[in-house]
Structure 1
């Protein structure tokens, strides 16, 4: 039987692999090398810089002085979730495959859908992002809406090369079924076009606490179904700051003769203050 350290390594690698394969929003994960710790444990500081524009050069006076303002914007780590599960000690000989199967299934069916939903909701509901509401019943309606979003983002000088279009699967099918120059143009030019199941595609997401009443099963619920959302990777602050895979052996378990494995992840999904124009959400009427 593998020891606890080996199990934890095996467990962590399994979770990381499943996340990468199953998450739709992982393409937006950013580089956090410039991020600083905030004054509080649940805060991070994101660097931000503004500069003056060009001025008239004088042949006698030379350059006009300009200013560069460098500051940090404070963002809250609002997503902090976890669960603990038990496996009876009688299953000890099969502990490694049991942990692998349970962890993979948990991440695939519970963690990833919730994390995707939370991120979509955080971006779609952020103040100042581009938005529209309406029913898109036909492929032509969908094409028109997507082209409007594309034009808005281009007009805001966000490069489409870093903008991902997340779109409801049924809506993309409507566009694809037309197979016209217009339908192809609507889906071309993006950094990627990613189909999203409606079960994790909402403007507003509520995270259940797992403790009270109808929330005991945990997970999430959503309102305001999204048709699509275009997101510039440069516009968002997205990464998991703290992910812990905890394994407690039966000898260490004070509550039962059982293995316990826990999963906790805390992270951020927010929008940079000066790049809100790089996001456009379309909500079902």
Structure 2
């Protein structure tokens, strides 16, 4: 049993690293020190700050007293998904660790991360108050014009210029790069990073499959009535995005009453929300549903 526990512990950092390398949205994760575990397993405690603005200064009376409030708000995680796999002991009698390493890494890259990215984009796009523009971008010139409009709109809302990330489909980004003009290059220079997002991760809404009857394969699909996202501009500070990795559950064959097999369980709990006073920090362009 002790070997099984050590095996589980050894894989936690490896799975975390696999997530960070494969996820397109991991660059938006909040600083871990800003979130604390809540009273329940699916809750996080996030610090919130509000303060008064400037007031008149008097040479006789001096400063007008202002107020600043620092509160800790409990927010519920809105992503909680998991899966179990059995690996027969005879499939890898001497190297169960290697078998699990391959299985878990591939599972995260091919199944977990695409769904998590898709969930985050759909969640942010679905927030009331976030700018969403329906438009058809036929070529690079149209995309450059749309990006310029989006950047100007965010500038007018005084969204911090640093920390803005552009997520865009490979097709639209290639259209911009093919122009190879000063204007097309200039529109991409102002972003912290430009990240290509496959269309299958880029919908205004998704449906997460239960893995039960009729949906045994699990995963997710594009929701009915959803549209394809063209691009999204996100200011990192506007988000409440954290991922919690539960330590992999590993049950050795001798403790498995159902089969002579290792049981590997994987669960991911996380949150993808936004600060109510920073909704202007996100801008979505999407086509017609």
TM-score past 0.5 threshold: yes
Q: Contact conserved, 2:42 with 2:269, CA < 8 A, in 1?
A: no
Q: Contact conserved, 1:244 with 1:265, CA < 8 A, in 2?
A: no
How far apart, in 2, do the equivalents of 1:160 and 1:208 lie? 37
1:126 Cα offset (Å): 1.0
How far apart, in 2, do the equivalents of 1:101 and 1:68 lie? 51
Residue 34 of structure 1 corresponds to which residue in structure 2?
34
How far apart, in 1, do the equivalents of 2:39 and 2:249 lie? 27
Q: Contact conserved, 2:114 with 2:201, CA < 8 A, in 1?
A: yes
How far apart, in 2, do the equivalents of 1:259 and 1:65 lie? 64
Q: Contact conserved, 1:11 with 1:103, CA < 8 A, in 2?
A: no
Q: Contact conserved, 2:23 with 2:113, CA < 8 A, in 1?
A: yes
1:57 Cα offset (Å): 1.2
Q: Contact conserved, 2:82 with 2:265, CA < 8 A, in 1?
A: yes
Residue 261 of structure 1 corresponds to which residue in structure 2?
264
- Counterpart secondary structure, 1:158: coil
Q: Contact conserved, 1:52 with 1:67, CA < 8 A, in 2?
A: yes
Residue 287 of structure 2 corresponds to which residue in structure 1?
284
Q: Contact conserved, 1:10 with 1:100, CA < 8 A, in 2?
A: no
- Counterpart secondary structure, 1:127: coil
Residue 218 of structure 2 corresponds to which residue in structure 1?
218
Within a 5 Å distance, the mapping from 1:164-183 to structure 2 comes to: 164-183=165-184
Measured on the aligned residues, the alpha-carbon RMSD in Å equals 1.7
Residue 55 of structure 2 corresponds to which residue in structure 1?
55
Q: Contact conserved, 2:16 with 2:245, CA < 8 A, in 1?
A: no
How far apart, in 2, do the equivalents of 1:231 and 1:172 lie? 17
- C-alpha change, 1:126 and 1:85, in structure 2 (3 Å) is same
Q: Contact conserved, 2:133 with 2:286, CA < 8 A, in 1?
A: yes
Write out per-residue CA displacement over residues 247-280 of structure 1, whole angstroms, 9 at most, x where no aligned residue: 1110011111101111101010110111111000
Matched, 1:248 2:230: no
- C-alpha change, 1:41 and 1:260, in structure 2 (3 Å) is closer
How far apart, in 2, do the equivalents of 1:14 and 1:61 lie? 60
How far apart, in 2, do the equivalents of 1:145 and 1:84 lie? 44
- Counterpart secondary structure, 2:253: coil
Residue 114 of structure 2 corresponds to which residue in structure 1?
113
- Counterpart secondary structure, 2:162: helix
Q: Contact conserved, 1:201 with 1:226, CA < 8 A, in 2?
A: yes
How far apart, in 2, do the equivalents of 1:43 and 1:36 lie? 9
Residue 138 of structure 1 corresponds to which residue in structure 2?
139
Residue 195 of structure 1 corresponds to which residue in structure 2?
196
How far apart, in 1, do the equivalents of 2:244 and 2:17 lie? 17
Write out per-residue CA displacement over residues 25-65 of structure 1, whole angstroms, 9 at most, x where no aligned residue: 01011113233444544333322222221111112222222
Residue 90 of structure 2 corresponds to which residue in structure 1?
90
Q: TM-score, normalised by structure 1?
A: 0.94
Q: Contact conserved, 2:9 with 2:247, CA < 8 A, in 1?
A: no
Q: What are structure 2's unaligned runs of at least 5 residues?
A: none
Write out per-residue CA displacement over residues 204-233 of structure 1, whole angstroms, 9 at most, x where no aligned residue: 1221111131x2211011232100111111
Q: What are structure 1's unaligned runs of at least 5 residues?
A: none
Task: Determine which structure has the larger strand proportion and give its number.
Answer: 1
Matched, 1:232 2:235: yes
- Counterpart secondary structure, 2:119: helix
Q: How many residues are aligned here?
A: 283
